[in-house]
Copies of this chain bind each other. A is one copy, B any other.
Amino acid sequence: MTRAAEHERAHADGRTHEHDGEHAYDVVVLGAGPVGENVVDRVRAAGLSAAVVETELVGGECSYWACMPSKSLLRPAIARSEARRVPGLRAHAYGPLDAHEVLAHRDSVVGDWKDDGQVDWVRSTGAQLYRGQGRLHGPRRVTVEGPEGDRHVLTARHAVAVCTGSRAVLPDLPGLAGARPWTSREATSSARVPERLIVVGGGVVGAEMATAWQALGSRVTLLVRGDGLLPRMEPFAGEHVADALAERGADIRTGVEVSAVVRDGSTGPVTVVLADGEVVEGDEVLFATGRRPRTEDIGLETVGLEPGSWLRVDDSLRVEGHDWLYAVGDVNHRALLTHQGKYQARIAGAAIAARAGGAGGEDGAAWSPYRATADHAAVPQVVFTDPEVAAVGLSLAAAEAAGHRVRAVDLDLTSVAGAGLYVQGYRGHARMVVDLDREVVLGVTFVGPGIGELLHSATVAVAGEVPIARLWHAVPSYPTLSEAWLRLLEAYRDGAGTP
């Protein structure tokens, strides 16, 4: 759709909309990723008018440079790994993945990095889409600087929602800028399989991308500052993933610090220099070393907030001290996960609509439709490594740090009949953290093949605060992996576990 056609459509929708004009909406949303889209969806469903401003592609990081492409790269890796351990099939699965086919499928999953479909969806909600850089310009006011120099001023009757997400952080290292490092964007969008890939960082992005590119044929070196992978999860999770990567040939070095990066010329190899003087040579280097909020250029200073900062919010996702300003998704630093941002978006949208209507939204009860209570108690995450990792709620360490009186029970998943039927030589582990005062589950972590879809059972148990006594009546089907639940409950009943 041309811009002229856009304007025509805007007029047809009954909104005034001119170059350099000022336009009023009930709600203005900065950022049209999944989070912004969900805020739009909810406030539009409540009958509020909405505008959404997007600098890049409608659909956001998740659609083009994160969840979607990464999972399209990882699923073949995981499926092949499992096929290799299934009797009758394994002989077929020893060949290499067809990398060309995997990359072509990835390209189609991201719509070749075009956002037409997502734009259509936004428009179908009746929201107005503005392309360009949106910036706050004092309370309830947003300016948009369009790609062709056009400028719009939007005013928000009820709320502005900042949903601009986060971007990868590159550390300040000698030589890095000239070495064309990969971030998560290049790692998910590369059209070529590097022969040797150096991954710096052992968090989720590092572990997933090491898994994907290893399966596509790269020799992987993983450089980790800490003492293991997936440091925010139960320790056994990262251990299983590291063991599997290493068995497939990855060189994993923990406790190392990168001090410089060197790349000569445009096609030559890249050299990573470690603090102890060792050097590692590769063809590409991925820095998966954290995220920062995309809030540096959105006019936060005009409303007394610090540009580039994470935005602190209450459980209705409203920025502290600004009754009209919401920060939803990565920018609030509560949980940098697409699904959790979408959850927050549903909550924020409901709260905005209720407050606009003069009712509700102030209902402060935990687990109400206007409170993102799960952000504290029940954030789920599936890491698509091989083996998969899935966790929800609090780890043992986090539960203890939060002052809960807890017991953790552990389970070797090989004791589950369904495990050996799923793949031969199954290896996996589970932990359940129980609140001893309330006899409810605070957190569950699984690591092992095929456990990704099992996580939601734990998410329902944790978010639902289903008592342990009742979980005994939630019978796992035999012989599935879900029998892990029975073994965990038995271990808890029989007094196993720590402390």
Contact = CB atoms under 8 A, between A and B. Distances in A.
Contact of A379 (B373, B378, B475): B475
Number of copies: 2
A201 interface: no
Nearest to A102: B88
A93 interface: yes
Tell me which of A82, A95, A480, A485 has the highest count of chain B C-beta atoms within 10 A of its own C-beta: A480
A340 B474 CA distance: 10
A104 B83 contact: no
A464 B461 contact: yes
Contacts of A457: 456-457, 459-460
B88 A76 contact: yes
A463 B452 contact: no
A475 B339 contact: yes
B421 A71 contact: yes
Interface in A444-499: 450-457, 459-464, 466, 469-483, 485
Nearest to A454: B453
Contact of A76 (B86, B461, B466, B481): B86
Given A71-B421, A92-B92, A378 B456 contact: no
Interface in A5-40: 34
Contacts of A356: none
Give the bracket for the number of chain A residues in contact with chain B. Answer: 35 or more
Interface string A181-206: 00000000000000000000000000
A373 B374 CA distance: 29
B91 A98 contact: yes
A411 interface: no
A472 B459 CA distance: 11
A417 interface: yes
A472 B345 CA distance: 12
A380 B477 contact: yes
Given A101-B87, A105-B87, A482 B456 contact: yes
A343 B485 CA distance: 13
A424 interface: yes
B92 A88 contact: no
Interface in A397-427: 417-418, 420-422, 424
27 contacts: A67-B478, A68-B479, A71-B421, A71-B479, A75-B86, A79-B83, A80-B89, A87-B105, A89-B97, A89-B98, A90-B101, A92-B95, A105-B424, A338-B479, A340-B475, A342-B475, A378-B474, A380-B476, A451-B453, A454-B454, A456-B485, A457-B459, A459-B477, A460-B460, A463-B474, A463-B475, A464-B464
Given A83-B93, A378-B475, A452-B453, 10 more contacts: A72-B87, A80-B89, A88-B99, A88-B105, A92-B95, A339-B477, A367-B473, A453-B453, A454-B456, A460-B471
Interface of A: 34, 62, 67-68, 71-72, 75-76, 79-80, 82-83, 86-93, 95, 97-99, 101-102, 104-105, 109, 216, 337-340, 342-343, 346, 367, 369, 373-374, 378-382, 390, 417-418, 420-422, 424, 450-457, 459-464, 466, 469-483, 485
**Nearest 5 A-B pairs (CB), nearest first?**
A88-B102, A87-B105, A456-B457, A464-B466, A339-B478
